[in-house]
Amino acid sequence: MFKKEEFQARRLALQAQLNPKSMMILMAKPHPFRNADTHYPYRPDSNFFYMTGCEEPEAALLLFSKDLGGRALFFNRPRDPSLERWMGFMLGQEGAKEQLGFEETYPIAELNTQLPELLQRVDAVYGPWGQSEAWDNLVFRMQAELKKKVRRGVTWPREFIDVQNLIDEMRVIKSEAEIAAIRYAVNTSVKAHQEVMKYSRPGLYEYQIEACFVYHSGLNNCRYQAYSPIVANGANACILHYEQNSEPLQEGDLLLIDAGAEKNYYASDITRTFPVNGKFSEAQKLIYELVLEAQLAGIESIRPGVVWNQTQQVMLKILTEGLVELGLLKGSVDSLIESKAYLQFYMHGSGHFLGLDVHDAGTYKKAEQWRCYEVGMVLTVEPGLYIDADDLSVDPRWRGIGIRIEDDIVVTKTGAEVLSQNLIKTVADIEAWMAA
């Protein structure tokens, strides 16, 4: 899905931002053990994959600033037939040239021997300071190696710079290939959510709903989830990151499922809330339609040039007005928003960036100002209302209702494309789908 030219272009774009006489180092994260001699499935570090396309552990990328020749050095494992018999194909140095577009490749064992000499040429080193175990281990080794040579005139770079912000900003705007990967993950998740709605009924357990979603994701070539699915029946939906997924589905309850498949390491993130028995109660319907009204208005607010927080403000106003009309809040809407009284029922933001990470890289403010939407941004819009089962300040009919509706959006020249638009979300459509 991704061509090597895309990774080459990213490396050139990053090099152009490096200070003179500087070098950047990124390390592949280790392959963690699950237990004994069994590993977890390997998932590359998002930044490392973004800059290299490499999906293997034990690798390193070194980029030099333009004034130092603009070299891109790649260190990775050499091919080993005996290891390949157990673990499968390895890139090796020639594979890194052919498939990832590197001109200079070396065995990973040479990194420690080449690094001291390479460091003598630079005044600054960029790296993911404090954010990468592999990087921290490399720094320790560098320091140990250089301590031996300081007496012979080898100098340690004078400045250390965190590269995270530079890469984060690059990752905010998605390429066509990235959007295609997200779109595939979203379409797969839509199908899985549809199957979950058909499958759900009182007496099943939350973990069975999770299994249904994961099964249908895998059937459509998305083997991994972008995050642990949240399958929350009844009052469990008021726990924002509920992950126990162990309780039975009860007659008369709502079921909130927040789940998204991953494709080529790119995430989807969709939430739907629906009645376990296929029919909303009157109280559930009123809260649900309020959340849906807010979400639709929030999506409508998205277009290039609009500030990020505008979406939250649009949804906050609708939610607060609705809470007043339903008697859950009392007072003027403006004063309730100013005092943040809505936090009793709505305590998170409008959404987040989506990409290689489900909560993807990028800041929502620049120079203390909310950033504007730009073409190629991918994000979620996900208002919700959560009324605790033990909240004695509200009428009993509202207690234990937790509702969130979340869709995945790409910003276009004319507004917002809802990537997950094929997944139903009106009361009438949900009831009809489940009845059928």
Q: What is the CATH number of the domain that holds 272?
A: 3.90.230.10
CA distance 78 to 111: 13
Secondary structure letter of residue 120 according to DSSP: T
For every residue of 293-316, DSSP letters joined together read HHHHHHHHT--TTSBTHHHHHHHH
The tokens for 87 are 């673990």
- pLDDT of 84 reads 92
- Tell me: do 167 and 251 sit in the same domain: no
Q: Are residues 136 and 183 in the same domain?
A: no
Does 132 share its domain with 187?
no
CA distance 436 to 425: 16
Owner of token pair 């939610």: 319
Q: Of 344, 315, 308, 333, whose CA–CA distance to 405 is shortest?
A: 315
Q: Are residues 240 and 386 both part of a single domain?
A: yes
Q: CATH no. for residue 79? A: 3.40.350.10
Question: What's 174's DSSP letter?
Answer: P
- Alpha-carbon distance of 60 to 138, in angstroms, equals 10
Model confidence pLDDT, tens digit, residues 61-80: 999 999 999 999 999 999 99
Sign of CA dihedral 30, 33, 38, 42: negative
- 283's enclosing H/E stretch is helix 282-300
Amino acid 197 reads: M
Active site residues per annotation:
37, 241, 258, 269, 348, 352, 359, 382, 386, 404, 406
Instruction: Give the side-chain half-sphere CA count within 13 A for 82.
Output: 0
Look up residue 115 and give its two tokens: 């690094």
Domain boundary among 138, 171, 204: 171
In tens, the pLDDT along 220-264 reads 999 999 999 999 999 999 999 999 999 999 999 999 999 999 999
Distance, in Å, from the CA atom of 250 to the CA atom of 369, rounded to the nearest integer, reads 46
Query: Is residue 205 located within the same domain as residue 184?
Result: yes
- Crossing angle of the two packed helices 92-100 and 4-15, in degrees rounded to 10: 90
Give me 294's structure tokens: 């807010």
Residues with pLDDT less than 50, the chain: 150-151
pLDDT confidence of residue 151: 46
Tell whether 221 and 127 lie within a shared domain.
no
Residues 347 and 249 both lie in one domain: yes
Q: If you compute the radius of gyration of the chain from its CA atoms, what whole number of angstroms results?
A: 25
Is 254 found in the same domain as 166? no
Domain count within the chain = 2
What distance in Å separates the CA atoms of residue 436 and residue 431, rounded to the nearest whole number?
A: 9
Q: Return d(Cα 402, Cα 231) in angstroms, integer.
A: 12
Residue 243: CA atoms inside 13 Å, Cβ hemisphere, count? 4
Range of the domain at 243: 173-435
354 HSE (CA, 13 A, CB side): 33
Model pLDDT for residues 98-151, shown as the tens digit of each residue: 999 999 999 999 998 898 889 888 999 999 876 667 666 776 666 665 555 544
Question: Alpha-carbon distance 169 to 312, whole Å?
Answer: 22
The pLDDT value recorded for residue 112 is 87
DSSP of 307-347, one letter per residue? BTHHHHHHHHHHHHHHHHHTTSS-S-HHHHHHTTGGGGT--
Q: Which is nearest to 219 in space by CA: 235, 195, 255?
A: 195
**Secondary structure class of 434 (helix, strand, coil):** helix
Task: Produce one character per residue of 263-294: b if its CB has 16 or more CB atoms within 10 Å, e if not.
Answer: bbbbbbbbbbbbbbbbebbebbebbbebbbbb
Q: Does residue 39 sit in the same domain as residue 10?
A: yes
Are 111 and 254 in the same domain? no
**C-alpha closest to that of 226 among 45, 422, 133, 359:** 359
Question: Are residues 266 and 195 part of one domain?
Answer: yes
| CA pair distance 78, 284, nearest whole angstrom | 59
Tokens 């009793």, located at residue: 344
Q: CA nearest 184: which of 257, 99, 260, 256?
A: 260
Angle between helices 427-435 and 282-300 (to 10 degrees): 120
Last residue of a domain, one of 171, 186, 202: 171
Of 171, 189, 221, the last residue of a domain is: 171
Residues 102 and 234 in one domain: no
